[in-house]
Amino acid sequence: EKYSPQDFVDRDVQAIKPILPLPLADTPFTLVEDVRLLKALAAKLHDASEFA
């Protein structure tokens, strides 16, 4: 007996709306846009004993 891929799909994939990512301001990440910000972040991390 042969099966088609549709035999294993149980929902309409086109009807599913993707989950959008959070805005950058709501995340713990820092956006570095220029050299000045990069140097400030590097100095901050240099003084830290731990970071993830």
- The predicted structure's pLDDT at residue 18: 85
Which residues of the chain are under the pLDDT cut of 70?
10
SS3 2: coil
24 CB contacts (<8 Å, ≥6 apart)?
A: 31
| Pair of tokens at residue 36 | 């000045």
Stated pTM of the model? 0.49
